Amino acid sequence: MLPEKITLVEVGPRDGFQNVKEQIPTEDKISIIKGMIQAGVRQMEITSFVNPKWLAQMADAAEVAAEIHKTAPEDFRAIALAPNKRGVENAVKAGLSNVTYVLSASESHNQKNVNRPIKESLEGLADIQESFPDTHIRVSLATSFGCPFEGDVPLKNVLQILTRLYGLGIREIILCDTIGIGNPLQVQQTVRAVREQFPDLTLGLHFHDTRGMGLSNIFAGLNEGVRIYETSIGGLGGCPFAPGSAGNTATEDMLNMVSSMGIRHNIDMDTYLRTVARVKEKVSAPLTGRLSSMCRQ
């Protein structure tokens, strides 16, 4: 039942860094990204093209993208997140051809996160696709397993939005558990329903670890044959404005679980863990991953 191999999409430099209050020097960001590439990571959200007024941490997006574009190996897939057309435009200008567009499965979170109704996010996506036909757009669907404002998010709402996205030609979608409230049974049911309705979709999963269920949810995904997982170095991420709230599922913990079950991931753990130690040294945020606590700084 379990897949033979998984694909990691590292999101630390985007979902992790964006939650760090203190500005991380651009050279440290680049050094951490390069460390992960050296470890074998071949898909990564390297930054986020958002208005720096909203998110000062990402003001160096173009600089980061340019350097990685210049130095990364050919088989490396650099991805940037963009919440709107302006962001996609800037990502394309910076040389990127893979963009994550984000919208939410719940209205109130979409409103808070990207400042408009879901309907307008979908219209915005259609417009982007028309304007940037050579850019590959993948979609992260936030709050797919629960919403901080609305609570439960019915599976039928998720499926409705997926139908719209599929209709727009989107074929790569990541279901995100933004607040780490999904459970393994829910993951099983959700993945089964999505797979049944959209068998040819490239489906990824992204679980925050707020309640410690990140790895359980990944195991549930693996049991359903899902191969693509977004995780973050050291577990960086979560909400910096909710004290004590844990962040993302840590990449190194995920890789360790996966390989202990005999599933391949093509990442060199020693090199990756050295990069975790670099994050500990350079980034002033607590790491919530378990293996990271064993890494020397």
The phi, psi pair for 191, rounded to 5°, reads -60, -45
Q: Which of residues 166-225 bind its own copies (CB under 8 A)?
A: 181, 183-186, 209-216, 218-220
Query: Which residues have CB under 8 Å from 113's CB, separation 6+?
Result: 83, 102, 104, 142
> Tokens at residue 39, please?
């470890």
| Of 11, 36, 228, 246, the one binding its own copies by CB under 8 A | 246
CB closer to its own copies out of 126 and 185? 185
How many residues touch its own copies (CB under 8 A)?
32
CA torsion through residues 68, 99, 52, 141, sign: negative
Bridging pattern class, strands 77-82 and 172-177: unpaired
CB closer to its own copies out of 133 and 244? 244
CB closer to its own copies out of 111 and 223? 223
Mark 255-284 with x for binding to its own copies (rule: CB under 8 A) and - for no binding.
Answer: -xx--xxx----------------------
Give the nearest distance from C-beta 262 to its own copies in angstroms: 7
Strand-pairing partners, residue 264, are: 5
DSSP code, position 25: P
Query: Which residues have CB under 8 Å from 157's CB, separation 6+?
Result: 105, 106
HSE, CB side, 13 Å, CA atoms: give it for residue 254. Answer: 36
CB closer to its own copies out of 155 and 257? 257
How many whole angstroms separate alpha carbon 103 and alpha carbon 111? 9
How many whole angstroms separate alpha carbon 67 and alpha carbon 63? 6
CB closer to its own copies out of 138 and 278? 278
| Of 19, 43, 140, 245, the one binding its own copies by CB under 8 A | 245
Q: Treating both helix axes as pointing N-terminal to C-terminal, what angle do 155-167 and 184-197 enclose, rounded to 10 degrees? A: 40
Q: Which of residues 20-39 bind its own copies (CB under 8 A)?
A: none
How many whole angstroms separate alpha carbon 292 and alpha carbon 277? 7
Give the nearest distance from C-beta 113 to its own copies in angstroms: 22
Give the nearest distance from C-beta 281 to its own copies in angstroms: 15
| Of 171, 195, 282, 290, the one binding its own copies by CB under 8 A | 290
Q: Which of residues 117-176 bind its own copies (CB under 8 A)?
A: none
Strand-pairing partners, residue 43, are: 77
**Active site residue: 147, 176, 239, 295, which one?**
239
CB closer to its own copies out of 121 and 210? 210
Contact between 275 and 32 under an 8 Å Cβ cutoff? The reply is: yes
Give the nearest distance from C-beta 84 to its own copies in angstroms: 33
Instruction: Verify whether residue 239 is a known catalytic residue.
Output: yes
Query: Which residues are near its own copies by CB under 8 A?
Result: 2, 181, 183-186, 209-216, 218-220, 244-246, 250, 253, 256-257, 260-262, 289-291, 293-294
Question: What amino acid positions are annotated as catalytic residues?
Answer: 239
